[in-house]
Chains A and B, each alone.
Chain A
């Protein structure tokens, strides 16, 4: 090839490149540009945020199993959870979006459905008759369409080591007063009773806010507050913090420096007594320590308030712009089967419970206890960001970590929180 031809090819290439960037339009339109990993040909693109080692391996097995069933082939794109979260709006609004996404049920999914970005999967639900009422409600948009296919859920609880509780001579408390007494006993042994990990994961503090709020004011009040229909300066919200203050002296002071994974190590190493966390913490725990782990339900504060529990539900939704909606629905129908959910649950860390009532959860005493707690609950909540929005989470992170540090400034903290929340709801 001659030099001149080379130059021509090069310039032609540059011209094409330039034109290509002009075509998708500007970022200010609702359609943002960029190739966000959309599907090509007859392949379905599945965008997954399950990037921890065990969960990723489980997803690979799941997809391999589906690809063997024939029909459209599914391609798995695993993206780090934090990047996935920030990119999700871009994926969904791009011109060539991935087809199916791992994500959360409830308010989060509904906010995308309201913008008309999600595929209506009501027909998938027609074949999912035996799912619980709670799961159905959780998967339905405010317009009444089914937009989500739940596949598993997990629970939050106060985890502890059985051997340590025996050593310290304490038993799992049921009420708030019993809980405070347990804290006192553990502290008298020279151990910080309550572990927490706020270093890189300040959102862990939201579990305390959620639980105290649903125990004191009830789940309906909690949901309304998080949906922007309430006010964080409400005296009922302040009551949550007044109660919380009673146990602040029992929190591990080192907990504000490290993330929840290290708080897990502290609990397993006997350096803290108890830890309010979701079962996902087991992903970063050695298997032998897990046999010594148990949990108790967050203590009851007001017996008159119907008992609610946090049980975040995971599953899938699909893009409205999926090129082959029938193939997507076929895949989702398969994901909703007990068979598919068993593949995932058995290959992951084993503490997730299949959403399909016929699915088989791990047969351990811990999982049975967790499942029973959720099934007996009068109300289910998801978690702060899932009941509100990812955008509201940073406002909670700032308010709650500041409260843990400077409880005296609670009035100002709640005022600032309300102002920050209002900005999010207004945006």
Chain B
């Protein structure tokens, strides 16, 4: 084999090993220690993991991450797919609507968070809208109320993600052969039947992409929660990712934070492997 080709394989591998694999392995090792970032780490075995069982903040974070996965993930698929169906036909001005829905994806999530915080602030846009439609008793400190904080953060996250998912589905819909619809029409299939028996099966490939994107995006959701609530008030909107960050860099319990990172990794792996295994089985 030519040394050039070998270099093209080995150099990226070495870089990957140094910057990805080695720190990841270190993370697994750190999860078994108690470390404050200053002294040498102390080996505690699975102590961090058994601490998690009795940690109420961890339980809240785990529950919130599950809520996030279902609501953020589920609604962005439903919303994105709905919007794609609505906007797939070429009509006059449809490009404007597509662009409008995709625009939030262009903004950084931190900027999005800043704008939405202004909406949510006391007497802000959200309160004003509720008051003007006679729902004044719904008004509350949206981001400072433990009952609403998490859901108030999901809304801007969805506002952004729906546009992204829509574009993926639009691309998928474009790839469906129009002859299939023609044939279905000739056979007397209704609009609903065409969607159910032609569109959906044709989108299988896109679905797997969307699902991976959604699961990964849900589990790594951090920026929008951190910039809007920092996991507060009193941990009520904490996700596993924000809890990991605050444990590591605010409470400087780096061992415990690494253990949380391991849990996040295992969850992501379980969801994605679970899906892949199912997908392969269906193909077989």
Residues of chain A having any CB pair with chain B under 8 Å:
7, 11, 14, 18, 21-22, 26-30, 32, 86, 89-90, 92-93, 112, 115, 117, 198-200, 202, 253-254, 256-258, 390-391, 393-395, 397-399, 401-402, 405, 416, 420, 423-424, 426-427
Find the residue from A115, A390, A397 having the highest chain B CB count within 10 A. Answer: A397
Q: Would B122 and A254 count as touching, CB distance under 8 A? A: yes
Distance in angstroms from A388 CB to nearest chain B CB is: 12
Q: What is the interface residue range for chain B against chain A?
A: 35 or more
Residues of the B chain whose Cβ atoms lie less than 8 Å from the Cβ of A427: 34-36, 251-253, 255-256
Beyond A27-B26, A258-B121, A401-B234, whether A22 also contacts B143 by CB under 8 A is no
Residues of the A chain whose Cβ atoms lie less than 8 Å from the Cβ of B232: 202, 397-398, 401
Least CB separation from A21: chain B residue: B18
Tell me the complex Cα distance, A30–B7, Å: 34
Tell me the complex Cα distance, A194–B94, Å: 53
Find the residue from B15, B29, B57, B251 having the highest chain A CB count within 10 A. Answer: B251
Tell me the complex Cα distance, A200–B18, Å: 37
Tell me the complex Cα distance, A397–B38, Å: 24
Whether B156 is near chain A, meaning CB under 8 Å from some CB there, is no
Residues of the A chain whose Cβ atoms lie less than 8 Å from the Cβ of B255: 427
Q: Would B18 and A18 count as touching, CB distance under 8 A? A: yes
Q: Would B37 and A90 count as touching, CB distance under 8 A? A: yes
Tell me the complex Cα distance, A93–B256, Å: 20
Whether B39 is near chain A, meaning CB under 8 Å from some CB there, is yes
Distance in angstroms from A109 CB to nearest chain B CB is: 13
| CB within 8 Å: A-B pair count | 106
Q: Would A256 and B39 count as touching, CB distance under 8 A? A: no
Least CB separation from A115: chain B residue: B38
Beta-carbon contacts of B37-49 to A below 8 Å, as 1s and 0s?
1111100000000
Least CB separation from B253: chain A residue: A427
Residues of the A chain whose Cβ atoms lie less than 8 Å from the Cβ of B33: 28
Per CB-CB distance, the 4 closest pairs between chain A and chain B, nearest first, are A256-B144, A402-B234, A254-B122, A257-B141
Q: Would B29 and A28 count as touching, CB distance under 8 A? A: yes
Beta-carbon contacts of B191-232 to A below 8 Å, as 1s and 0s?
000000000000000000000000000000000000000101
Besides A18-B14, A398-B235, A427-B256, 18 more A-B contacts (Cβ < 8 Å) are A11-B11, A14-B15, A26-B26, A28-B33, A30-B38, A90-B37, A93-B37, A115-B38, A199-B144, A256-B141, A257-B143, A391-B251, A391-B252, A401-B232, A401-B233, A420-B57, A423-B51, A423-B253
Find the residue from A11, A198, A257, A424 having the highest chain B CB count within 10 A. Answer: A257
Q: Would B39 and A115 count as touching, CB distance under 8 A? A: yes
Residues of the A chain whose Cβ atoms lie less than 8 Å from the Cβ of B38: 30, 89, 92-93, 112, 115, 117
Tell me the complex Cα distance, A254–B252, Å: 31
Beyond A30-B40, A398-B234, whether A198 also contacts B144 by CB under 8 A is yes
Q: Would A199 and B256 count as touching, CB distance under 8 A? A: no
Between-chain CB contacts (< 8 Å), 24 pairs: A11-B7, A21-B18, A26-B26, A27-B23, A27-B30, A28-B29, A86-B250, A90-B37, A198-B144, A198-B233, A257-B141, A257-B143, A391-B250, A391-B251, A397-B232, A402-B234, A405-B146, A420-B57, A424-B251, A427-B34, A427-B35, A427-B36, A427-B252, A427-B253
- CB-contact partner of B143 in A21, A199, A405, A416, under 8 A: A199
Find the residue from B22, B29, B234 having the highest chain A CB count within 10 A. Answer: B234
Q: Would A393 and B250 count as touching, CB distance under 8 A? A: yes
Residues of the B chain whose Cβ atoms lie less than 8 Å from the Cβ of A18: 14-15, 18
Tell me the complex Cα distance, A418–B253, Å: 16
